[in-house]
């Protein structure tokens, strides 16, 4: 088994335009869209904190102040809640990120792809292994979170780790797809990674989702790759270059993923999380029963 430095830093690429949710995202970053009562980015941050991350690096754009505002202190609101005796609400907005956790904001000057966004965080990450979380991919777990599971595999193997899940044939053109071979440790070692292949060209049905633990050598790989369509630098290409010199593992994490970058996935997550909310569950079930009855489904 390999040995590696601990994973303490996580990068959150949040500079995207969120065009699939226009006009809502004209003024609100897509990562700030709420699932019940918390924005998408907060769910991702909480997953990282639960996994032991102590430095949160947000790669953002010049106009996305709402994200930093969300994690900043809101003096007027906190004062009002304290005066009104609303202690539970006060806790919910003051205990999002512990004081000992570092928050760093880095600007991506142009939207030149996910790989370029990760390159923007290089000076903060340094030469340590680091995590990447895409808030669009929201993962629900009953036990350890997806990132925590992946960090455990990284700790055991010393290798970079990519979160994957089985996807339908017709969706291969929407994902990076990995080909794997089981190694001596019964781990899924990646031998190829292809960006958005046609079903007949896909090496497997294992699609890459928005969780990564990467060695810092990915930065030099990203600087060498050629920009693709639209002048974008793809993270997939950087990982493909890493495969030439070091192992990268595919990890089918335990948990349910919601593609909240799509309207269907976002609505599905909202319904499922609302049904887990003590104050909303019964009203939601009654409402859904009425809808199903009216539509003739029951």
Question: For residue 139, what are the CA distances in angstroms to 41, 49, 80, 114, 116?
Answer: 12, 14, 34, 20, 24
Domain boundaries, the chain: 9-164+208-216+250-259, 262-298
Q: State the Cα–Cα distance between residues 184 and 178, nearest whole angstrom.
A: 19
- Kindly report, residue by residue over 169-197, the tens digit of the pLDDT: 999 988 889 998 887 777 888 999 988 89
Helix (H, G, I), strand (E, B) or coil at 33: coil
Residue 155, pLDDT > 80, answer yes
Range of weakest confidence among 12-16, 55-59, 131-135, 182-186 = 182-186
| pTM listed for this prediction | 0.91
Q: How far apart are CA 149 and CA 164, in angstroms?
A: 12
Q: Nearest Cα to 57, choosing from 27, 115, 13?
A: 13
Give the mean pLDDT of the chain.
90
Strands 55-60 and 9-13: parallel
- Mean pLDDT, range 58-62, rounded to an integer: 89
- Integer Rg of the chain from CA: 20
Place of tokens 């990076």: 176
Buried b vs exposed e over 168-178: b needs ≥16 C-beta within 10 Å?
eeeebeebbbb
DSSP state of 224: H
Q: What is the DSSP letter of 254?
A: S
Per-position DSSP letters for 142-159, written without gaps between them = SSS-HHHHHHHHHHHH-S
Asked if pLDDT for residue 168 goes beyond 60, the answer is yes
pLDDT on residue 263: 93
pLDDT at 229 exceeding the cut of 70: no
CATH class as words, domain 9-164+208-216+250-259? alpha beta
pLDDT tens-digit series, residues 158-167: 999 999 999 9
Give the total residue count for the chain: 298
d(CA 240, CA 235): 9
Closest to 225 in 3D by CA, of 236, 209, 214, 215: 236
């Amino acid at each position: 088994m390999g040995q590696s430095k601990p994973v303490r830093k996580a990068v959150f690429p949040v500079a995207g335009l969120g065009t699939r949710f226009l006009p809502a995202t004209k003024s609100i970053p897509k990562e700030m869209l709420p699932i019940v009562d918390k924005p998408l980015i907060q769910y991702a941050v909480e997953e990282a904190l639960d996994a032991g991350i102590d430095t949160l690096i947000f790669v953002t754009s010049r106009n996305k102040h709402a994200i930093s505002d969300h994690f900043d202190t809101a003096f007027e609101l906190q004062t009002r809640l304290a005066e009104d005796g609303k202690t539970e609400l006060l806790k919910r907005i003051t205990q999002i990120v512990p004081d000992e956790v570092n928050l760093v904001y880095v600007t991506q000057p142009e939207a030149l792809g996910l790989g370029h966004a990760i390159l923007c965080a290089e000076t903060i990450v340094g030469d340590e292994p680091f995590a990447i979380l895409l808030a669009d991919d929201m993962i629900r777990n009953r036990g350890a979170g997806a990132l925590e599971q992946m960090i455990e595999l990284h700790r055991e193997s010393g290798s970079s780790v990519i979160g994957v899940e089985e996807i339908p044939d017709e969706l291969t053109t929407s994902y990076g797809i990995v080909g794997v071979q089981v190694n001596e440790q019964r781990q899924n070692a990646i031998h190829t990674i292809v960006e958005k292949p046609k079903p007949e060209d896909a090496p497997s049905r294992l699609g890459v989702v928005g969780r990564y633990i990467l060695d810092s050598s990915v930065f030099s790989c990203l600087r060498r790759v050629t920009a693709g369509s639209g002048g974008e630098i793809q993270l997939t290409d950087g990982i493909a270059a890493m495969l030439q010199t070091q192992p990268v593992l595919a990890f089918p994490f335990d948990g349910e993923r919601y593609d909240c970058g799509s309207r269907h996935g976002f609505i599905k997550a909202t319904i499922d999380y609302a049904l887990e909310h003590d104050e909303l569950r019964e009203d939601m079930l009654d409402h859904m029963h009425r809808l199903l009855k009216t539509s003739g489904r029951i």
